[in-house]
Amino acid sequence: MRVEWPTFALICATYAALLVCLFLLPGLSIALAILALIPVIALQASLQHEVIHGHPFSERKLGEALVFPSLNLAIPYLRFRDTHLEHHMDATLTDPYEDPESNYLDPAVWSRLPRWVQRLLTANNTLLGRMALGPAIGQVAFMAGDWRAIVAGDRCVLRAWVWHLPAVVLIVALVIASPLPVWAYIVACYGGLSLLKIRTFLEHQAHERARGRTVIIEDRGPLAFLFLNNNLHVVHHMHPKLPWYRLPRIYFNNREAYLSRNAGYSYRSYAEIFRRHLLRAKDPVPHPLYPPH
């Protein structure tokens, strides 16, 4: 059986770090424990993403057993898996209906929204807004969509939430057994989701050609590690079976080819993204290229 040891070791280290944050750090400082938990929760979500794409074992169910309980408590693993694999249909990237990870709305839907909702979603399209408001807005929209699917009879969605509940109970029971207050863990969950919003903020853009819709961020710092090099997003979409630790070499050995393929949609670093888009939206909320009805 194929085993990708760097990924397996990182999964083990992530859970070891979780235990340190729950059982050791609160004795020093609750604030320190929360701050340390935020990247741990974000990293586990990135590891879930690796498992979705067949890492670290050739038998995916073994990897799923390791990461099934979502430390962020918000997104059932099975829903993350199913919606993300659907997202990998590059021909429909950014489509408000076909791409479950799209940040755009149908312009016809946008025009019917109350003014206060439009303002809220416009604020959410800045990086600061996406980090501060995005986890709440995204969770409400996600759960509302899943509820509609369940009411319509989608048993796969229902099953995902049913399996998610005991996983949440398991994590909450672990927190209760630790010195960390439950409220502090919930704050850390929001922080972890907020951190992940940096990665998804501009991963994809509206573009006439599918190959021009996916970004490259040439960052090699802490955020790139937390996102497991998914900032090199074109490489991931073209080679989803490549493990995270091989993406940088593949990209930088073929940099010009990848930048040519995605029509130059790139940034030098996350620092550049913060400078340019912390308070200024990159994209409109209504899809700029969506066909009129």
Kindly list the domain boundaries of the chain, sorted by start residue. Answer: 5-202
Q: Quote the pLDDT of residue 90.
A: 86
* Exposed/middle/buried for residue 50 (C-beta within 10 Å: 0-12, 13-18, 19+): buried
Are the beta carbons of 83 and 145 closer than 8 angstroms?
Answer: no
Place of tokens 């006439």: 208
pTM for the whole structure: 0.95
The answer to whether residue 3 scores a pLDDT higher than 80 is yes
d(CA 62, CA 82): 17
CB 130 within 8 A of CB 124: yes
Q: Which of 2-6, 16-20, 113-117 has the lowest mean pLDDT?
A: 2-6
In percent, how much of the chain has pLDDT > 70? 99
Q: Looking at the predicted structure, is the pLDDT value of residue 292 above 80?
A: no
Q: What is the arithmetic mean of pLDDT over 150-162?
A: 97
Q: Give the pLDDT of residue 293.
A: 53
Checking if the pLDDT of 72 tops 80, the result is: yes
Between CA 125 and CA 159 the distance in angstroms is: 32
Query: Is the pLDDT assigned to residue 111 strictly greater than 80?
Result: yes
- The answer on pLDDT for 290 being more than 90 is no
Q: Is residue 70's pLDDT more than 60?
A: yes
Q: Average pLDDT for residues 226-235, to the nearest whole number?
A: 97
Amino acid letter for position 168: V
State the pLDDT confidence band at 53, using cuts at 50, 70 and 90. Answer: very high
DSSP state of 204: B
Mean pLDDT within 56-80: 95
Structure tokens at 290: 């969506």
Q: Taking 60 as the threshold, does the pLDDT of residue 1 lie above it?
A: no
Q: Which whole number is the average pLDDT over 33-49?
A: 98
Q: In the chain, which residue ranges form alpha helices assigned H by DSSP?
A: 5-23, 30-52, 60-67, 77-87, 107-112, 115-123, 127-132, 134-151, 155-177, 182-200, 222-226, 233-238, 247-252, 255-261, 270-277
What is the pLDDT of the chain when averaged over all its residues? 96
